[in-house]
Structure 1
């Protein structure tokens, strides 16, 4: 005959419940935010007025959401997602390098199969790549979805140490305690003074708002901060003014002013406060931002009535006021789309812009500050 198990003390369940409750409300102290790497002092650009544009090689019937980076040797690299249509099973993240002979034939660097194999999770679709080059490392972040739409995305990270020829197995970043969903990337990170990165991301499951991920130099998450705003916002694009101050320009995803929304930090990204919407239209579409050599800010986005044109605006007062600068692309036909811009300031002073062209491909434009200021015909 087996012996009966001794009865548990009556107080033990109460103690365990109290410990679980305490753990649920336990807050890990926030790490002190490092400074941003401040931008260089403003200087006049010496490049003459110039503009050139070209299509990147095709990688599928439909293409969207380009990202840009510059390698240590000066070459540009681009990534985007393409396939038969957005969200289809055959969509992959594609990669191309600009060399002396032009852009290389695109190579698939992230697919449903490679992502599932690296993360040991089911993957239904992939999208939205982000690139960043620093030293010998080329970082790639991109989203993947197991079930549902883009609001159910998870964020994946992979690294190349040979300029994009090969990539590490993707790692799914743990950005949320609840099912680890609804973290999406779109715009490039910022360098931090401690060698890490600040990656702007966004959340769109039920609520829609920007977020700030503080990452170590190797890509591990150290902290996550919500970008507070009164309206629904997506896809923050960030520019730093100095070591502590930065501004984020966000897609207006609400039913309000249809203007580019703003949130700012004055403590290195440890907290973000909403500002007034800009006098720049936003038809619920992604924007890109850049600090130019002159110290002025450049913004790329769409007109108020849709994505049938891609426009540029310039601010000479740290983003307080904006003036229309150039129309990069426009088309009168219904359904034309020029959207999801990505901006990059090359080390030679040239400004690079990549964007979705009619959902059929990715177009790359390169131009100078002098071209922005040139009198329009």
Structure 2
């Protein structure tokens, strides 16, 4: 699989020109940061290489063993977990970890919850492996990489695993690009990273956070992404079977919005819930699509507070919609599950997962998955130290009395 190095501008109806002076300056900066590709055709075709297994060198406490309710800890700080339920009943988790967010030692880690294990709720987490590092991504793409960020997982109808993750060469997260790796052997080995072309202008400021949808689109995938440079808004990428970007559409909102999480409804429409990027306290934002993501229209915000924090959305096997979020105006020290039994028209709080009166505590960036046995997996950042994992059954999702 080879990703394109250019994308026709007609597939980007929402991209507007940026001032020529800024374009020249940024282009020059990007050229200065380009790293020569190691070898003329080293990754053509992509070479199936073993996963990176060397964790970043960390000072302080050694890696901790797996504990009930938490993913194995590999670094002092962990964030932005994503979950993927596999056909055999296992669940994969990806997240980034290092000394702190944005540090040079941050890597993308992968671990597997074995359904047949004897650990937490009948499962046992495997030892995490670093499947993407700054050095490996830089070598594979031939571009300077300063830091790595959010990662998401997907599995296509042929069973191949896909990993998308964020890298930054210069500036903050607004200067991000998306990279993709693919595994044909259930995650044991991965192709070298390739950079997705999502914009004809410097190909920056596109980030991932939430998982893709596959079968609802009749071929290829739909990947929710978001844009941060100058404006902040959600986008929907349409990918072909090999992961190449075919088209993208903007998710319009009256306010700045980030990190759309998307689920399919009973009638085939798509519902996206988004993080309200402010200013000021807001609510969980919404958008809908009736044509598989080709176009979107804003919908009424949910009656759920959103303190500029990520949300997770999952359509359960019984048709209900499950939302994980921080439903308070002032921070991320309360994390709860909300349910909708009428395709997103009405929502009610079903269960509080974490709550602390200490404003310094953070429980954020939730991820959701439902495994083959019907169990609902919830994972999230716990105090920026590690990733907490909980397993619920559909009939125990509701704890709060209505």
Q: What range is the shorter-chain TM-score in?
A: 0.7 to 0.9
| 1:166 equivalent in structure 2 | 189
163-172 or 200-209: bigger deviation:
163-172
Residues 203 and 191 of structure 1: CA distance in aligned 2, closer, same or farther (over 3 Å): same
Q: How many residues align?
A: 332
1:64 lines up with 2:79 in the alignment: yes
204-213 vs 162-171, which moves further: 162-171
Matched, 1:298 2:286: no
Instruction: Please name the residue that 1:259 is paired with.
Output: 283
1:310 is paired with a residue of what secondary structure?
Answer: strand
Whole-angstrom distance in 2 between the partners of 1:236 and 1:307? 18
- The structure 2 residue matched to 1:198, chosen from 209, 222, 229, is 222
| Greater relative contact order (CA < 8 Å, ≥ 6 in sequence) | 1
Alignment correspondent of 2:236:
212
Is 1:88 paired with 2:103?
yes
| 1:346-376 alpha-carbon deviations (Å, 9 max, x no partner) | 1211111110011000111110121123565
What displacement does 1:165 show? 1.6
2:301 aligns to what?
277
Separation in 2, partners of 1:124, 1:295 = 42
Note the C-alpha offset of 1:28: 5.9
Task: Provide the residue aligned with 1:39 in structure 2.
Answer: none
| Counterpart in the other structure of 2:364 | 339
Does structure 2 retain, via aligned residues, the 8 Å contact 1:244–1:265?
A: no
Conserved 8 A contact 1:197-1:214: yes
Bigger radius of gyration: 1
Match among 378, 389, 401 for residue 364 of structure 1 = 389
**Contact 1:357–1:363, Cα closer than 8 Å, also in 2:** yes
Question: Normalized against structure 1, the TM-score is what?
Answer: 0.84
User: Which residue is equivalent to 2:62?
Assistant: none
What's the counterpart of residue 21 of structure 1?
none
Give the gaps of 5 or more residues in structure 1: 1-24, 31-51
Task: Write the distance in 2 (CA, Å) between the matches of 1:355 and 1:26.
Answer: 37
8 Å CA contact retained: 2:266, 2:343: no
Q: Aligned-pair distance for 1:293?
A: 2.4
- Equivalent position of 1:185 in the other structure: 208
Kept after mapping to 2: 8 A contact 1:53/1:366: no
| Residue 120, structure 1, aligned to residue 142, structure 2 | yes
Structure 2 CA distance for aligned equivalents of residues 27 and 292 of structure 1: 37
8 Å CA contact 1:53, 1:365 repeated in 2: no
**TM superposition shift of 1:169:** 0.5
TM-score, L = length of structure 2: 0.79
Do the aligned partners of 1:129 and 1:143 also contact (CA within 8 Å) in 2? yes
3-state DSSP of counterpart to 2:282: coil
CA distance in 1, matches of 2:207, 2:228: 8
RMSD of aligned alpha carbons:
2.0
- 1:222 alignment partner, SS class: strand
Q: 1:137 aligns to what?
A: 160
- Aligned pair 1:156/2:156, yes or no? no
Distance of aligned partners of 1:191 and 1:332 in 2 relative to their CA distance in 1, 3 Å threshold: same
Alpha-carbon deviation of 1:26? Answer: 7.6
Q: Deviations over 1:8-55 (max 9, x none)?
A: xxxxxxxxxxxxxxxxx984699xxxxxxxxxxxxxxxxxxxxx9610
Cα distance, 1:328–1:93 mapped onto 2, change above 3 Å: same
- Unaligned ranges ≥5, structure 2: 1-7, 14-66, 119-123
Q: Deviations over 1:238-284 (max 9, x none)?
A: 01114641110000002255100011111111100111111011000
